[in-house]
Amino acid sequence: MENLADMIFDSLLFYGVAVLLDVLMIVFTLLFLNFSAKYRCHKLNVGWYICAVLAGPLTLIVFLIKRRTFPGPDVKKCPQCKKLSGEYEQLCPVCHSALPAINREEKRRQKKLSRIFGIGIITVYALTVILGAVFGYNLVSSPELFEEDDRISVNGVFYDKKGNSYENEDDVILYDEDGRVYTYLSEELQDESMYFSYETQYYVRDDGEKYYALDCYVTEDGWFYCDKGYMLELYSEDTSEMTEEELDKYYQEQMTAEAREYRYYDYPYTDGTGTLYYSAYEASWNEKGELITAENDIYQ
């Protein structure tokens, strides 16, 4: 419970900081666009700012490309007709109005602010990458916060069919009706053609024979069974002959079971004869060696 609380707190903290960085990125981008355009004697229309809010990084890239076509800081703008002229022009060539002198101090301020907010954008982006990397590392390095046991433990202990106890669910031994023993094995294999590794799980019989874990089940009596012919299929309740009253009761039971933790017995398999099988890796027993199913699970 403490780990879960820590996980929730860390997640809320992460998303809170992420939202703050996202807001700062938008604000810095808007200010950068404004001062950078003003420094180059260009007025941006409102569409630029809307795009910056909706698609900041893409808008920023387009702006940096488009900025090369802007007039520049050494250009005068006519206060009457808005015509642009060179820095040495005294009169507007169109309306002959007097042109104002270039405010060098204001230009320096605009340039300085555009650089500050540009650096701010880079800083926020770097912090976002670092935050994502740190949070991702914590997820990978703390899998216990997210993973649940596949088997059901009894007071923190796992049991096998013979009542032997184990601290680790991977150590639980399976048995078949002939008395053979099966142990769980996880191997990391290297695909030489694709240049990547992958993990494969087996159950290994006491004579060394390997069986893919996904093909392995236990019977209703708790004995090991391998579905080599892939004959088993997911079991589902036959509701075709139920009365309306029975259906209402059945679905009501299904709804009240939603709060129950996921366990293997919620998904049994059948061979078509009515015999049920359960996933071997998720099979669980109590201290008496009894298979824990929906009917006799008293530990939930």
Overall average pLDDT of the 172-197 stretch: 82
Residue 225 has pLDDT above 90, yes or no: yes
Whether 174 maps to a domain, the answer reads: yes
Whether 90 maps to a domain, the answer reads: no
54 and 141 inside one domain = yes
Q: Identify the pLDDT of residue 177.
A: 94
Please tell me the number of Cα atoms within 13 Å of 185 on its side-chain side: 16
Domain count, the chain: 2
195 and 68 inside one domain = no
210 and 234 inside one domain = yes
Whether 152 maps to a domain, the answer reads: no
Q: Identify the pLDDT of residue 293.
A: 65
Q: Identify the pLDDT of residue 160.
A: 95
6 and 138 inside one domain = yes
Whether 287 maps to a domain, the answer reads: no
Q: Identify the pLDDT of residue 261.
A: 43
CA–CA distance, 171 with 156 (Å, rounded to integer): 14
130 and 209 inside one domain = no
Q: Identify the pLDDT of residue 92.
A: 84
Q: Is the pTM of this model over 0.75?
A: no
Q: When comparing pLDDT for 52 and 242, which is higher? A: 52
Angle at 124 between CA 119 and CA 125, to 5 degrees: 100
Q: Identify the pLDDT of residue 140.
A: 47
Spatial contact of 166 and 179, defined as CB atoms under 8 Å apart? no
Strand-strand pairing, 269-270 and 233-234: antiparallel
14 and 57 inside one domain = yes
Q: Identify the pLDDT of residue 88.
A: 76
Q: Identify the pLDDT of residue 162.
A: 94
Q: Identify the pLDDT of residue 138.
A: 58
Rg (CA), the chain: 35
Q: Identify the pLDDT of residue 210.
A: 94
Neighbour count for residue 284 (Cβ, 10 Å): 27
276 and 181 inside one domain = yes
Task: Choose one of 115, 145, 175: the last residue of a domain.
Answer: 145
125 and 53 inside one domain = yes
Residue 136 has pLDDT above 50, yes or no: yes
132 and 238 inside one domain = no
Residue 185 has pLDDT above 90, yes or no: yes
167 and 253 inside one domain = yes
Task: Choose one of 94, 123, 145: the last residue of a domain.
Answer: 145
Whether 64 maps to a domain, the answer reads: yes
Whether 205 maps to a domain, the answer reads: yes
Q: When comparing pLDDT for 152 and 5, which is higher? A: 152
Kindly report, residue by residue over 73-132, the tens digit of the pLDDT. Answer: 888 888 888 788 877 788 888 888 888 888 889 889 999 999 999 999 999 989 888 887
132 and 169 inside one domain = no
What string of DSSP letters covers 76-120? Answer: EE-TTT--EEETT--B-TTT-PBPPPP-HHHHHHHHHHHHHHHHH
- 154 forms beta bridges with 157
CA–CA distance, 244 with 248 (Å, rounded to integer): 6
Whether 151 maps to a domain, the answer reads: no
Task: Choose one of 116, 145, 174: the last residue of a domain.
Answer: 145
CA–CA distance, 21 with 195 (Å, rounded to integer): 37
Kindly report, residue by residue over 244-300, the tens digit of the pLDDT. Answer: 888 777 666 655 544 444 344 456 888 878 788 988 988 899 999 988 865 444 444
Angle at 296 between CA 293 and CA 299, to 5 degrees: 90
Kindly report, residue by residue over 55-68, the tens digit of the pLDDT. Answer: 888 888 888 888 88
268 and 208 inside one domain = yes
Kindly report, residue by residue over 15-54, the tens digit of the pLDDT. Answer: 888 889 899 999 999 999 999 988 888 888 898 999 989 9
Domain of residue 130 covers: 2-72+104-145
Q: Identify the pLDDT of residue 172.
A: 95
Whether 197 maps to a domain, the answer reads: yes
